[in-house]
Structure 1
């Protein structure tokens, strides 16, 4: 304490150590299988890794790369958006490369928000969203996705979303495919969100890092809907698509005005990062469709393996339409519905680590009985985890 104040900025006082750090440390201490944190246990394509090696040896990116990102990657990003979604962007003025999608979210919040602004986010939400909104001095307004046991999925109530908008609402922060629930927003839902944003003159930041991991339905960028091209910041990254999460290469695509605003904040965060990896990701984005199809099929099979095993173990399972996480309700196994206690005891009980979803909620009671498992692991690891979980 100095001058009677805590050392930590009050805006961050509620956050503390992330649940991922706690659960990963628990996995190491107990030797448990870590299905808590969302990172693959194998590297991505060999040709992409070799592209990074070539860049390092050729001296490409070993010094500071350009602030907006290397031209090769910015061009590859615009080609990807055009080929996949018929969205046209200028690589020089409408793309910004970031240190992963997490920095893209942080820079967007710091650039576009001021104290007094409200941000609507779908809960449960990736935990950095709340921290980034707080650092910007804005107020988060959660709209809860509702679990539907009859369908084994989560649902967005559009009436609740509309009711959450006030004169202070500045921005909608969306994530589809959605972590942790695996929800993929439908064309009808996205059209309604687009209409609301236009009607109320709202900015939208969309986190689309799981865009290539959709098992049911289709991924539709919000920026492709009428009236949204000029008011949407679209975020994605290489980590989830190419299984190189440690490279931390993300990006935004948006109008020149929005890119300029976000870049103004981003330049004082990392300034630049991941120089050689940017060249490798440029090559990765140009991989043939067969790569993306194989990735999706592999993860769909792993989803089914883990989902089936969790159901056999006694969990109520919400089978995801996208991402690489499965949400479960623990109450058939633990009537207390205390996800925190359940996750902290699980490694000792059966040698598996998961994450309690309550940490992703403002309304903690809404998420209390739900627990998230990651299936972005080798098939034999998932099979062993399933075997252990049956001991419950």
Structure 2
């Protein structure tokens, strides 16, 4: 199994011969103990073998080398089988034309008196202009006072508001290379090797790699879904307190990734009350999907309940359907953001300056019309996919926001596939049905508490043709007999001595 390490069926030698040229690093693998990805069949690096002299890599890379990237593996398999790929969370329907105008030479060179600066380094924390407009955009939503005047209005730089709470200013904003670097930077600034980070799971899996590189342990706190998919995903207070007891940081995705749940006012008030008992814990609120609210769902930023201890993470790529722009933000109290800026400067100094200038123009002109229109587009795609999944027998956990639908696989479909392991089910769905989804277990730190419930994640941020093709193929599930995936569990019970169990899903494997 790609994620548990349990042995799956198949001829390892034959697989190794097929993929030998693709992974040259496997020359370091001991022949007596080959390991293969249960999803793609690719041979994995083994730390048991001694690397060639001069080629010893850092031990902290062992997790990255031994655990395959589910996104890359699923895409590789989708391409091989010409599957309708609903795996990765990037829009395939293209960004709106208006975004291209913000990257024209005229636009990026006219923001400053000397336009040539648009093609040089910005200041390390991000350009003053962009940080000012981002601070203005988020100030009140994050629980700060009314925004101060933007860059370029010196006579108004000091806020004239009488609010007791100061506004968010540029000193509380850091521009990063995407949301992922923002998370890595926050971990680097506020944790030491050996520290623990409590995290609500399932969550964005990128934090696992970032934590591994810094020898930080992620302690998962499982959120559990309503049995009928109607009430979102909720945590257990006792489990959360146990995880926070020795934690240095608390990580929460809101809207939740990958489930799409938005935490309610009551839940966030409860969270704030709990965290009062753990005053040294820094909160990282990953809110990259907050501009993709569906069906008018209620949304509240974590910082509006925990302002003085929260680093909020945002992504321009997710907000504006331009993930290739690679710009993210950290917003929070200057004393929390300052150390993050030091780390960011040491890593890459600054994001691309022309893109920063383009985003400045976008925020200055106003983004609400775009956000509203984009949410409407996403909502229509989500409704269609939810309808099709429901007709195919899945229990759909309808999201409040984001790019994804999490659906529970019915027992009848698991029986047809011959497996209860979500990793194998995802592979079977790609190979036999022609639709690619992701298993949910890679987004956890430990096996979900109820192995009888199996979930897959489907991305609906795709062009109409891809969603239409997926809909046709999923609709056929109700009528077409499909062969079980050969790597799945057989229906006959294995002997007790040969009963490998998936460490994530708890399912029996072949």
- Normalized against structure 1, the TM-score is what? 0.93
Mapping for residues 1-392 of structure 1, pairs under 5 Å: 1-2=50-51, 7-15=56-64, 16-54=67-105, 55=107, 59=116, 61-82=118-139, 84-85=141-142, 87-88=144-145, 89-152=167-230, 153-166=232-245, 168-201=246-279, 202-215=281-294, 217-225=297-305, 228-286=306-364, 287-332=366-411, 333-335=413-415, 336-366=419-449, 369-392=454-477
Gap change, CA 1:111 and 1:5, over 3 Å in 2: farther
Measured after TM superposition, the shift of residue 56 of structure 1 is 5.5
| Cα distance in 1, alignment partners of residues 213 and 290 from structure 2 | 27
Measured after TM superposition, the shift of residue 83 of structure 1 is 5.8
Gap change, CA 1:148 and 1:90, over 3 Å in 2: closer
Measured after TM superposition, the shift of residue 125 of structure 1 is 1.5
CA contact (8 A) 1:330 1:337 kept: no
What do the CA deviations read for 1:16-74 (whole angstroms, capped 9, x no partner)?
33100111112222222210000001332322221112345654532211101112211
Measured after TM superposition, the shift of residue 186 of structure 1 is 0.9
What do the CA deviations read for 1:135-186 (whole angstroms, capped 9, x no partner)?
22222110001122224432222332123221x2111011000111111111
CA contact (8 A) 2:144 2:168 kept: no
Find the residue that maps to 1:193 and give its secondary structure: helix
CA contact (8 A) 1:44 1:242 kept: yes
Gap change, CA 1:320 and 1:106, over 3 Å in 2: same
Which structure 2 segments of 5+ residues have no match? 1-49, 110-114, 146-166, 478-510
CA contact (8 A) 2:331 2:337 kept: yes
Return the index of the structure with the highest Cα Rg: 2
| Cα distance in 2, alignment partners of residues 376 and 48 from structure 1 | 18
Find the residue that maps to 2:347 and give its secondary structure: coil
| Cα distance in 1, alignment partners of residues 208 and 84 from structure 2 | 28
- Paired residues in the alignment total 389
Most deviating of 216-225 and 311-320? 216-225
Q: CA RMSD in A?
A: 2.2
Find the residue that maps to 1:68 and give its secondary structure: coil
Gap change, CA 1:62 and 1:360, over 3 Å in 2: same
Gap change, CA 1:13 and 1:367, over 3 Å in 2: farther
Find the residue that maps to 2:465 and give its secondary structure: helix
CA contact (8 A) 2:143 2:307 kept: no
Measured after TM superposition, the shift of residue 124 of structure 1 is 1.1
CA contact (8 A) 1:61 1:274 kept: no
Measured after TM superposition, the shift of residue 280 of structure 1 is 1.5
Measured after TM superposition, the shift of residue 270 of structure 1 is 2.0
Measured after TM superposition, the shift of residue 4 of structure 1 is 9.7
Gap change, CA 1:56 and 1:290, over 3 Å in 2: closer
- Normalized against structure 2, the TM-score is what? 0.72
Most deviating of 318-327 and 10-19? 10-19
CA contact (8 A) 1:94 1:253 kept: yes
CA contact (8 A) 2:406 2:458 kept: yes
